């Protein structure tokens, strides 16, 4: 069906400007239309192949979810942690293992129970100390002649809360003074 309509378009295949007679025309010529068709078919095949690869990769994990007993390696793959972490969980008593001859297996039920019992640990809410009652890290290092790494380790070991304001880290004066002021022996 021809029309008197003339629309200036740009060919999707070669990028040249052409006059189209319909609003849905995408290519300038039959040759470009054939090339565009081949590109569409090729990309559809690649997409189908990619989908097949994704299904094949996902299949082992789906198979693991349906098994009642899993080996250490399968469990590590299922929950995406290392084997060493699984052994540590067993040593702590969090996840029981059963040794059957030369194989170690874990019940799927125990894995599910472990995740049901796990509760996220709430972060303690720290009371903010006014900045006038705090030292910057640099002030502590200069006042007590202590290195940056020693101060960092001291803060970690004694769980001293840090406050951040801009680019500076502040620590409470009272806690730092308690730890770093030398104590005189009482007579």
pLDDT tens digit sequence for 66-95:
888 899 998 998 888 999 999 999 999 888
pTM of the complete model = 0.40
The token duo for 5 is 């309509």
Rounded-to-integer distance, Cα 105 and Cα 167, Å: 51
Determine the average pLDDT of the residues in 164-170: 91
* Topology, domain 131-180: Arc Repressor Mutant, subunit A (1.10.10)
Q: How many CB atoms lie within 10 A of CB 140?
A: 22
Question: Residue 152 contacts by C-beta under 8 Å, 6 or more apart in sequence?
Answer: none
* Topology, domain 67-117: Molybdopterin biosynthesis moea protein, domain 2 (3.90.105)
* pLDDT single digits (tens) 7-27: 899 999 899 999 998 889 999
Residue ranges of domains in the chain: 7-61, 67-117, 131-180
Backbone angles phi, psi at 151, to 5 degrees: -65, -45
Strand positions, DSSP E, the chain = 7-10, 17-20, 69-71, 98-100, 103-107, 134-136, 163-165, 168-172
Rounded-to-integer distance, Cα 152 and Cα 140, Å: 11
The token duo for 63 is 């198979």
Question: Residue 90 contacts by C-beta under 8 Å, 6 or more apart in sequence?
Answer: 96, 97
Question: Residue 16 contacts by C-beta under 8 Å, 6 or more apart in sequence?
Answer: 10, 28
């Amino acid at each position: 069906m021809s029309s008197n309509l003339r629309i200036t378009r740009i060919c999707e295949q070669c990028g040249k400007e052409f006059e189209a007679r319909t609003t849905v025309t995408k290519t300038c010529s039959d040759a470009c239309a054939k090339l565009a068709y081949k590109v569409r078919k090729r990309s559809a095949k690649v997409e189908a192949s990619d989908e097949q690869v994704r299904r094949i990769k996902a299949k082992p994990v789906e198979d693991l979810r349906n098994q009642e007993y899993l080996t250490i390696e399968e469990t590590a793959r299922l929950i995406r942690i290392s084997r060493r972490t699984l052994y540590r969980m067993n040593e702590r008593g969090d996840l029981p293992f059963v040794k059957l001859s030369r194989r170690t297996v874990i019940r799927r039920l125990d894995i599910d129970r472990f995740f049901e019992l796990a509760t996220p640990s709430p972060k303690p809410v720290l009371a903010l100390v006014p900045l006038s009652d705090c030292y910057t890290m640099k002030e502590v290092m200069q006042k007590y002649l202590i290195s940056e790494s020693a101060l960092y380790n001291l803060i970690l070991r004694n769980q001293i809360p840090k406050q951040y304001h801009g680019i500076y880290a502040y620590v409470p004066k009272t806690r730092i003074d308690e730890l770093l002021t030398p104590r005189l022996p009482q007579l």
